[in-house]
């Protein structure tokens, strides 16, 4: 029984798809299928039902996979202890980040880790804040740059890099372009451009409007902040964004939204149990250092 076979089987269990597991592991699907089949033969029982309708965990596979997950976590802890004793940082760290994050401080931190620890393999996956937090909690990611309103998902450690505000952004030709601030109710008179549900920005907008006792309409629902800014620049709507230092500069006019509930946070999240590996701790330390140095 090889360690990589355990990782492959658990990836299939998490994704319920050999194709998605292979993509997450960045290996071939045939390799995942072959190694899982070898593991099943060695164990003497099938872990998965494979059919045209998809992949399902077998009743016998449920307890076995849970034990394999515990065994792999223990192995990773042994490796982390050995690395600590040897003063090495190696292995792999999977990082998540909100889609479209072009913050130079974040990219500088990744570059620092890459150059300081050449034996460390870093992977990055963009996504929505809520999904990233779920993936960290489930162990599919080690760390993530995500946003939240009050607190991140329960059970996660967190560090706030930026205290942000929900703001409105309009093009220079928009009737609001000479204003300094607006009320939340003013947003009801305009087509709103905002990110999709599950993103930190959408969660913050929805929470603000709900706290104000107002609906939270969205006319233009997009995936990336760059798309929201582009639509607002063309006078197609008012973009609801954050007053973030992580945002790239644009020609848009930012307007304060006068609400005590217009709050959002951007930071790093990680799972508190099991303990982070030495590699993940080194990456977390670099993220905190670079983001802290560049938030003022």
Read off the CATH number of the domain in which 172 is found: 3.40.190.290
Tell me, yes or no, whether 101 lies in a domain. Answer: no
Integer Cα distance of 139 and 270 in angstroms: 9
Integer Cα distance of 127 and 96 in angstroms: 7
Tell me, yes or no, whether 97 lies in a domain. Answer: no
Q: Counting Cβ atoms within 10 Å, is residue 295 exposed (0-12), middle (13-18) or buried (19+)? A: middle
Tell me, yes or no, whether 119 lies in a domain. Answer: no
Q: How many domains does the chain fold into?
A: 2
Q: What is the CATH number of the domain that holds 80?
A: 1.10.10.10
Q: What is the pLDDT along the chain (296 residues), one digit of tens a residue?
A: 788 888 899 999 998 999 988 888 888 888 889 999 999 999 999 999 888 888 999 998 899 999 888 888 887 777 666 666 555 566 788 999 988 777 788 888 888 888 877 777 889 999 999 999 999 998 899 999 999 998 898 889 999 988 888 999 999 899 999 999 999 999 999 999 999 998 889 999 999 999 999 999 999 999 888 899 999 999 999 999 887 754 555 688 999 999 999 989 989 999 988 888 878 888 888 888 888 876 55
Residue at which a domain ends, from 34, 59, 88: 88
Q: What are phi and psi of 209, to 5 degrees?
A: -65, -40
The residue range of the domain holding 19 is: 1-88
Integer Cα distance of 251 and 254 in angstroms: 9
What are the angstrom distances between the C-alpha of 258 and each of 27, 30, 205, 217, 285? 50, 56, 13, 18, 36
Q: pTM score, two decimals?
A: 0.65
Tell me, yes or no, whether 75 lies in a domain. Answer: yes
What are the angstrom distances between the C-alpha of 65 and each of 12, 27, 45, 56? 10, 21, 12, 12
Tell me, yes or no, whether 287 lies in a domain. Answer: no
Tell me, yes or no, whether 116 lies in a domain. Answer: no
Tell me, yes or no, whether 148 lies in a domain. Answer: no
Tell me, yes or no, whether 180 lies in a domain. Answer: yes
């Amino acid at each position: 029984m090889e360690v990589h076979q355990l990782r492959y089987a658990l990836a299939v269990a998490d994704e319920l798809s050999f194709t998605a597991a292979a993509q997450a592991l960045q290996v071939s699907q045939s390799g995942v299928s072959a190694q899982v089949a070898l593991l099943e033969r060695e164990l003497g029982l099938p872990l998965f039902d494979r059919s045209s309708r998809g992949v399902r965990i077998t009743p016998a596979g449920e307890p076995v996979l849970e034990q394999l997950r515990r065994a792999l976590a223990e192995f990773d802890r042994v490796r982390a202890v050995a690395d600590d004793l040897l003063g090495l940082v190696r292995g792999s760290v999977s990082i998540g980040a909100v889609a479209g994050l072009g913050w130079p401080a974040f990219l500088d931190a990744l570059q620092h880790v890459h150059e300081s620890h050449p034996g460390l393999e870093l992977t990055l996956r963009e996504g929505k804040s809520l999904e990233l937090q779920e993936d960290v909690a489930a162990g599919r990611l080690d760390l993530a740059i995500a946003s939240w309103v009050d607190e991140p998902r329960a059970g996660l450690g967190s560090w706030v890099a930026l205290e942000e505000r929900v703001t409105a952004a309009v093009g220079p030709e928009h009737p609001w372009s000479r204003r300094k601030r607006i009320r939340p109710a003013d947003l009801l008179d305009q087509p709103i451009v905002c990110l999709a549900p599950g993103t930190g920005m959408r969660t913050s907008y929805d929470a603000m409007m709900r706290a104000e006792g107002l609906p939270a309409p969205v006319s233009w629902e997009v995936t990336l902040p760059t798309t929201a800014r582009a639509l607002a620049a063309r006078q197609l709507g008012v973009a609801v964004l954050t007053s973030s230092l992580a945002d790239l500069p644009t020609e848009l006019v930012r307007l304060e939204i006068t609400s005590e509930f217009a709050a959002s946070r951007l930071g790093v999240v990680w799972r508190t149990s099991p303990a982070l590996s030495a590699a993940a701790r080194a990456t977390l330390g670099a993220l905190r250092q670079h983001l802290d140095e560049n938030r003022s």
